[in-house]
Amino acid sequence: MKLVRIIVLSGILYLRLVFGEINKEEACGFPAIYNFGDSNSDTGGKSAAFHEVQPPNADRLDLPYLSAYLDSIGADFRNGANFATVGSSILPGGYSPFYLGVQISQFLQFKKRTILLSNLTITNSKRFSSKVNIPKPDDFSKAIYTFDIGQNDLSYGFQHTHEAQVRASIPQILDNFTHAIHQLYTEGARNFWIHNTGPIGCLPYSVISYPLKPQGLDATGCIESQNEVAREFNKQLKDKISHLRKELTYSAITYVDIYSAKYKLISTAKKQGFGDPMKFCCGWYNNGYEVACGQTTVVNRTEYGKACSDPTKYISWDGIHYTDAANVWLANSILNGSFSDPPVPVEQSCTHLSTRV
């Protein structure tokens, strides 16, 4: 069985393209993946740009991660690169300086230098090693381009403005997003795998600090008004993708409803083998006081913030990010196309070209 393993959801969620049951004629055989996003798909960008991420960081999965673009020393880019970094947003001015426009610029620079180095290798074959850890120039048009970004645009807005203003900003956010897709298409990208934004109102961190409990919560315990904004974002994103399919004639764009997948997991947590979805494994929040994951504090002789003993029973790792176990559940749920439009598995997502729609 031939395996192509791809990491795209957080430092711990993986997309594994398994070619075995599917005929060669039906499988796309993507030679590389280029990922753009935030901490939901950061596999080392933060540690490369700022400081090393301390364990635990999903080592127990023992899976090959995409090399972070910012961590270029000794990296292997033959199967793609990850431009995602923690806190990134689509618009500039949020939590991170590495917003989507910067990530696209990094990709364009990466592609330009890859082609230059490839040409130098061919021209000076005797002077260069036969093993160069860069993709083949032809791989850029055959690769799959994945996106999981936008949640921080909403989160930052909720923290610094009002929900009505966040909702009003959605068209501008998505205009910037579609501009990025156009840029990549102009550079030869054809296969796009795009996640919508998740149920931000279900993050335990959000619920803890929400002042209108319990009236503003839904039956699952999520903040209904924030989830309404997320759903509006997703509705407009899906409309934008419909237009992109018409404009980008030779593209294959898959819209993945990660919102529904995550909400299903949260709302049926016990059925899926998890505990209370509003509890988290690591860190502590109380009345504006925070203890980050990896740290502890003692209040009235009681220690807070210590990681739980069994993360496999938790959906949330630190109140914001999902655990390994939750991410594996999500990956298994979305890879077969059950939450996709069109409903095709990821390894066949190159077969629904816009010219056929």
Cα–Cα distance measured from residue 87 to residue 95, given in angstroms and rounded to the nearest whole number: 5
Angle, helices 163-186 vs 151-160, to 10°: value is: 150
Query: Which residues are known catalytic residues?
Result: 39, 318, 321
Per DSSP, 9 falls in state: E
Contact between 314 and 320 (Cβ < 8 Å):
no
Helix ranges restricted to H, the chain: 45-49, 100-123, 139-142, 151-160, 163-186, 204-209, 224-247, 258-267, 324-334
Cα–Cα distance measured from residue 29 to residue 25, given in angstroms and rounded to the nearest whole number: 9
Cα–Cα distance measured from residue 306 to residue 311, given in angstroms and rounded to the nearest whole number: 12
* DSSP track, 213-274: TTTTB-TTS-BHHHHHHHHHHHHHHHHHHHHHHHHSTT-EEEEE-HHHHHHHHHHTTTTTT-
Please give the span between the terminal C-alpha atoms of the chain, in angstroms, as a whole number.
32
Contact between 88 and 103 (Cβ < 8 Å):
yes
Angle, helices 224-247 vs 163-186, to 10°: value is: 30
Beta bridge partners of 99: none
